[in-house]
A and B are shown apart, each in its own frame.
Chain A
C-alpha cells in the first residue's frame, strides 16, 4: 500500500459524458501527478500539481482538466468522453516538486467508456 488513494476504483460511463476522478496523496506529499495508461499509448504523463498550483503539463487533452485543493487532494475531470478515453488513470504523489523525488502511485481508476 503506497498511501495514495484513488476513487472510484472502476467507472463505466457513456460517450459524451463527464466524470471526475479523485486522488488523495500520501500524508505530507505536496505534489500530485496524473497519468493515463492505455494499451496503445502506454503510460502517459498528464499533469502535475504542486501545493495547489499547476507545475508541469504533459499530454493532457483540452477536454481534460485537473485541480489540487487546499487539503492537497486532487481531481481529474474528463469531459465529452470518447471511446478512446477508456484507460487506467493513475494518480501519484511525491514529497516535493523536485525531479529527484520518487513518485508513489495509487491503485488507479479504471475508466470504461461505452
Chain B
C-alpha cells in the first residue's frame, strides 16, 4: 500500500528561525514522484517542487530546500530564515506509476511563523 505521513500536525516558530517539515512515504514501487504543495490561508494549493525516485539530489530554491533520502523514504522540506508569509499548511504528496495514477497526499503540516 502507498502512504504519505507528515507526523508534524502543527509547528510554530519565530520569524527568521529555520524550520524543517518532515515527510515519510511508503511504496514498493521503484518509479514514483514526490511533491510538495503549499496552502496559504487564502486556500489555494501552490506547487512547490517535484522530485522523481531516481533523482536523489537535494534541491535549493531561495530560502527553500528539500532533502530526498530513499534509504529512509523521506522527503523533508526546510525553510531557512522563515518569514510570516511562509505561514501555511504544507502538503507532501506521492504519485506512483501504476494503473491508478492517483496522487496520495499527506495530512499536511500547519506552519505558524510568529513575528
Where the two chains meet, the residues of A that have a C-beta atom closer than 8 Å to any C-beta of B are 2, 33, 42-43, 45, 48, 55-56, 58, 88, 90, 92, 97, 99-100, 102-108, 110
Q: Complex Cα distance A102/B36, Å? A: 11
CB-based contact B96/A99 at 8 Å: yes
CB-based contact A100/B52 at 8 Å: yes
Where the two chains meet, the residues of B that have a C-beta atom closer than 8 Å to any C-beta of A are 31-33, 35, 37, 42-47, 50, 52, 91, 95-97, 99-108
CB-based contact A97/B43 at 8 Å: no
CB-based contact B107/A106 at 8 Å: no
CB-based contact B105/A42 at 8 Å: yes
Minimum CB–CB distance for B13 against chain A, Å? 23
Give the residues in chain B near A107, CB-CB below 8 Å: 42-44
Give the residues in chain A near B32, CB-CB below 8 Å: 99
